[in-house]
């Protein structure tokens, strides 16, 4: 009788040891993350053809002198004004407001308030001066020039012009 119990105890002890060993082995793994793979930043960039020039890179804004003389490269159309309105809503509305009067939800708390885009002062600017003021003028330099996409700029000028009317 005593020897039977002893045998059972030995069996259980053996089983427990086996279990512990299995758990121990499983936790030192092979791990899923430890495998041959290429992370995004480790990838080699495809080679660029010689003489490649960016067509979408940043363009230096006009100097004051250039701005005084520059006129918009394309006449305002229903299309460009419509596009400008969309871009105005991305970049300007929160400060200059729906009507361009400087009463946007963010603009309200500015001192001084954002410029009134319907004012005679803005209307008197050349296209180039408005372009420059919008990107590098008081209140924006240099943020707007760094964020407003190149192809959105002249449509924005076309739309801002409509406030004066």
> Is the CB of residue 128 less than 8 Å from the CB of residue 68?
yes
In the complex, minimum distance from the CB of residue 122 to ligand HEC, in angstroms, rounded to a whole number: 5
Of 4, 31, 56, 138, the residue at the interface with ligand HEC (CB under 6 A) is 138
Of 61, 67, 80, 91, the residue at the interface with ligand HEC (CB under 6 A) is 91
Site string for ligand HEC, 36-75 (x = CB under 6 A): ----------------------------------------
Please, where are the H alpha helices in 28-161?
Answer: 64-69, 78-91, 93-96, 120-123, 127-136, 143-147, 150-161
Q: Does 148 bind ligand HEC (CB under 6 A)?
A: yes
Q: Collapsing DSSP states into helix, strand and coil, what is residue 44?
A: coil
SS (H, E, C) 74-90: CCCCHHHHHHHHHHHHH
Q: Looking up tokens 């229903």, which residue turns up? A: 78
Q: Which stretch binds ligand HEC (CB under 6 A): 33-41, 60-68, 70-78, 127-135?
A: 127-135
Contact set with ligand HEC (CB under 6 A): 91-92, 94-96, 106-107, 110, 112, 114-115, 117, 122, 130, 133-134, 137-140, 144, 148, 156, 160
């Amino acid at each position: 009788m005593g020897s039977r119990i002893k045998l059972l105890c030995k069996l259980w002890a053996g089983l427990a040891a086996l279990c512990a060993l299995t758990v121990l082995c499983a936790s030192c793994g092979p791990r899923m993350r430890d495998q041959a793979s290429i992370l995004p930043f480790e990838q080699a960039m495809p080679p660029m053809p010689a003489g490649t020039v960016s067509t979408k890179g940043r363009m230096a804004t006009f100097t004051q002198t250039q701005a005084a003389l520059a006129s918009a490269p394309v006449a305002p159309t229903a299309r460009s004004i419509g596009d400008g309105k969309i871009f105005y809503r991305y970049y300007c509305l929160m400060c200059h407001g729906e009507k361009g009067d400087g009463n946007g939800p963010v603009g309200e708390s500015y001192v001084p308030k954002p410029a009134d885009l319907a004012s005679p002062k803005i209307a008197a600017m050349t296209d180039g001066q408005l372009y420059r003021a919008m990107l590098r003028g008081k209140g924006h330099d240099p943020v707007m020039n760094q964020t407003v996409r190149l192809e959105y700029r002249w449509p924005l000028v076309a739309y801002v012009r409509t406030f004066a009317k």
